Amino acid sequence: MGLSGTLRTAVIGASGYAGAELLRLLALHPVLDVVYATGDSQVGALASSLYPSLAKAYPSLVFAEFDPAEALQCDVVFLCLPHEASLELVPQLVDKVRLVVDLSAAYRLRDATQYPTWYGFTHDQPAMLLRAIYGLPELYRDQLVGASLIATPGCYVTAASLALTPLVQAGLIEKSGVIVDAASGVSGAGRVPKPNTHFNTVNEDFTAYGLLDHRHTPEIEQVTGAQVLFTPHLAPMNRGILATCYARPAGNTKPTTQSLLAVLAKFYRQEPFVVVRPASPSTKATLGSNAAHITARFDERTGIAMAICAIDNLTKGASGGAIQAANVALGIPETTGLSTVGMYP
């Protein structure tokens, strides 16, 4: 550790939404001390000019240009970069700093041959893929302890996996023909404006995209062990994800709403950030928090099981989840710097 029991922390790509959310959360973290923040498109700008919400916590923080020597002076490095940029930087950092936490998809998929199909680039580091630990503590906590490289899950994947995995592992639902319909706030598309995320496009609209080929599909299948038809939707809200998942009961099982809820409640009974309730989850209930709210139903009429999960896509679905996983890897109490309470109304 650095001085006063803190760890020198870098946020590379801090000018994007995930980077800004990391800065917000790390401002209250007693161990992870941000000493270096880069933002190549905003080099030389005050963080508080781009994000006035950070003015009190970071009054003099200036987005720097990336310098490997500066990053190597840190204990913990968070990467909030495009996938291929992370792919280039990770080998320069792993084993030279204590922990690298990558928020891109560069190290999420275990099979390197999937990257050309789903991400459009060739992954040339199969050995590093095997070293990367998937950063979802609820499912991979034991593997995260002492990790040197963490692959932070996709935001949609976090919600869908938390809803489905306990039911798959309990043998309650079929592993084929699972349907995931999920809606995300516009912040999931990033800070850089695009025609399809312009206010006049998104406002008062609700649309599906990535039909049949969204890149989070193989990641959801990898985590849950189920074959999934995944359809994402863009909702006219800033933050949040609501994932509604449908599956057939497995074999001769005869689930009920109560049995599905009981399995979920038992699976997550000691999890600090997961709430299982009969009530239908709300994205606003999770706003700004690292909490995941989950429920389930069984429809006797159609014979379909349904599980629903709500999260904040920037917190539990990205930066908060990254800090949670980093806490586990570093031996810091898992809830440090993170809230279970959403902002409401």
Catalytic residue among 74, 80, 155, 245: 155
Distance separating alpha carbons of residues 182 and 196, to the nearest angstrom: 18
Indicate the residue type of 166.
P
* Neighbour order of strands in the sheet with 241-247: 207-208, 228-234, 178-184, 241-247, 304-311, 292-299, 274-276
Tell me the C-alpha distance between 264 and 57, whole Å.
38
Longest CA–CA span in the chain (Å) reads 63
The token pair at 281 is 């989850």
Would you call 74 a catalytic residue per the annotation? no
Q: Pairing between strand 304-311 and 292-299?
A: antiparallel
> Rounded to the nearest 5°, which phi and psi values hold at 152?
-70, 130
Q: Does the CA dihedral 154-158-164-165 come out positive or negative?
A: positive
What is the residue type of 237?
M
Which active-site residues does the annotation give?
A: 155
